[in-house]
A and B are shown apart, each in its own frame.
Chain A
Amino acid sequence: MNPSKINYDPNLNCYFLTVRGILLRQLDDRDVSLLWNQSGLIYEKMQDNILFTPYFTSLSDSLSLYLNVEKKKQTEEDFSVFLQKIKERILSGSTVLVYSDVFDLPHTLYYQKKHNNHAIEIYHVGNDEVEIVDHYYKFEGNMSISQLKFALEKTNEKNNVSAFEFAYLDTTKAVSPDMLPYLWDTLHFHRKIMNGKDPYDDEQHQKWYGMEAVEAFTRYIHHEVFEDGSNVDISYHGLKEYGGSKNNMAKICLDYGHLLEGLEELGRDYQHIANKVLTIANMILKCFISKNFDHYETRIMNKLQEWKEDEEKATERLNALFELHHYTLNT
């Protein structure tokens, strides 16, 4: 039996999983896992909406910063040329990423049910079929070329673009990061954010960081879930993404805890926060689906309060770790 080509991790979204899947065919697992080291807390008021995110650097920038890998895109108007370019790229050593609407991907739960842009890996191009790997839905198998063409045309139509696009990762100059500078860099950004500061000193937007972001998002959740009650998308997905990012950070802290005193304990705090935040996300979804708001309101608000207390404790530990190693808040 051939080994599976799927690389699943419940803490990564479809885009991250696909990038990771492609990279793992070329680079060492230890280095690739270092890319997911962002778990800040940023709340931003947009024109009609809000943004709650753990991320403050794009994955493309992290690829370049830590591994010296470049994410490149290629677009083609003609589908057969597009397919030929993918074939050439795979032959030269890198599989590719494409986005398709899940509505037209038969192996997903949302086939013909729901529209959503979704990243998949194209692993091989044959004469009539392509071999795809969907790391998120844990699927590897063939898809006819006509089916892929149809799915990508529909996706382009939905996104109002005309050209077909794929992305690949240039790993020819890849490096392996030194762990201690990497860890300090990672912790430095997190300490800054969790103490309420913009990691890049950007004063342009109306943003909240760290504990202020927790409080602002808690107020938002109460409004979206219990006052409006018509949609819980932002509350659920914001918490889900944050919980996953916290688990990724926890893993880094636990894996490299032996390099820095206090790091392992911080990793356990982060694990605990991730468990709590993902529990709240599921509670919100259950509440919304059951429409039993009274049954869930106190329970969810209690968990949100516990989350805030857990974040305060972890931030104290992070600050103590810097003090222990003679760093000050202004470094």
Chain B
Amino acid sequence: MYKYVELSNFVNNKGITTASSAKKSSFAFGGWYSLPREHFSKEMTLKEDIPFQFHLEENADNMELEGQSILVETSHYDTLYILGASNNGNFYESLSFFQDDKLCYTVPIYFPDLTSNIPIHHEKIAMTIPFMHNQFGDVHHSKAYLWLNTVSLEDCNRWNTIKFPDNPSIHIFAMTLKGGSSI
């Protein structure tokens, strides 16, 4: 029913840390803040019972967008769930789906700032984290939010590649596909 999109080869940014390793965060400029490691596990079921896989690795745990292309097994998927947030502002971009080199489908994705609880469009808060770490200690007066974009793939029957735009302000932590029968 659900299939994780494998991001381990694509994570290029550190946003989740322990209190003592907060200085290693590269999510915000100059390591201003990071998400507390104790609020994450490798697999988590979030909003609307959607499971996500996190990549809680030493040096990187999220994908900062810089034009990556991710190959996915061709199938009839119904929906793509994308979990992420922006740094230093609210941002949106277009996500493209290709079958090899042929563009099949383009859809906008919206990611508000990590500290904002107001959507830009129709995206929803999937995870509320009560505090953040920064290099001087814990920041309790600002919560953090991970946002869920739900992309319907009903109009996109056959594809095998997701192409991301170049926007390093947007960070993707996990992606899950729903549906999928081999074709």
Residue of A107, A109, A139, A282 near B32 (CB, 8 A) is A109
Q: Does B123 contact A (CB under 8 A)?
A: no
A308 to B66, CA, bound (A): 21
A282 with B166: CB separation less than 8 A: no
Q: Which residue of B lies closest to A299 (CB)?
A: B166
Q: Does A71 contact B (CB under 8 A)?
A: no
Interface string of A236-258 (1 = CB under 8 A from B): 00000001000000000000000
| A17 CB to nearest chain B CB (Å) | 15
A278 with B169: CB separation less than 8 A: yes
| B22 CB to nearest chain A CB (Å) | 13
Q: Does A283 contact B (CB under 8 A)?
A: yes
| B123 CB to nearest chain A CB (Å) | 15
| B31 CB to nearest chain A CB (Å) | 9
Residue of A139, A282, A303 near B141 (CB, 8 A) is A139
B89 with A285: CB separation less than 8 A: no
Q: Which of A284-313 contact B (CB under 8 A)?
A: 285-286, 289, 299, 302-303
A107 to B142, CA, bound (A): 11
Q: Does B81 contact A (CB under 8 A)?
A: no
Chain A interface residue bracket vs B: 10 to 19
A299 with B66: CB separation less than 8 A: yes
> A282 and B168 in contact (CB under 8 A), knowing A107-B141, A138-B141, A289-B29?
yes
| B153 CB to nearest chain A CB (Å) | 24
| A231 CB to nearest chain B CB (Å) | 15
Q: Does B113 contact A (CB under 8 A)?
A: yes
Q: Which of B147-170 contact A (CB under 8 A)?
A: 166-169
Q: Does B18 contact A (CB under 8 A)?
A: no
Residues of B within 8 A of A (CB): 29-30, 32, 66, 87-93, 113, 115-116, 134, 141-142, 166-169
Q: List 27 A-B contacts (CB under 8 A).
A: A10-B89, A10-B90, A10-B113, A107-B141, A138-B115, A138-B142, A139-B141, A243-B89, A275-B91, A275-B92, A275-B93, A278-B89, A278-B91, A278-B169, A279-B91, A279-B169, A282-B87, A282-B89, A282-B168, A282-B169, A283-B169, A285-B88, A286-B29, A289-B29, A299-B66, A302-B166, A303-B166
The 4 A-B pairs with the shortest beta carbon distances in the complex, nearest first, are A282-B169, A278-B89, A279-B167, A285-B29
Extra contacts besides A275-B93, A282-B87 (6): CB < 8 Å: A10-B90, A107-B141, A278-B169, A285-B29, A289-B29, A302-B166
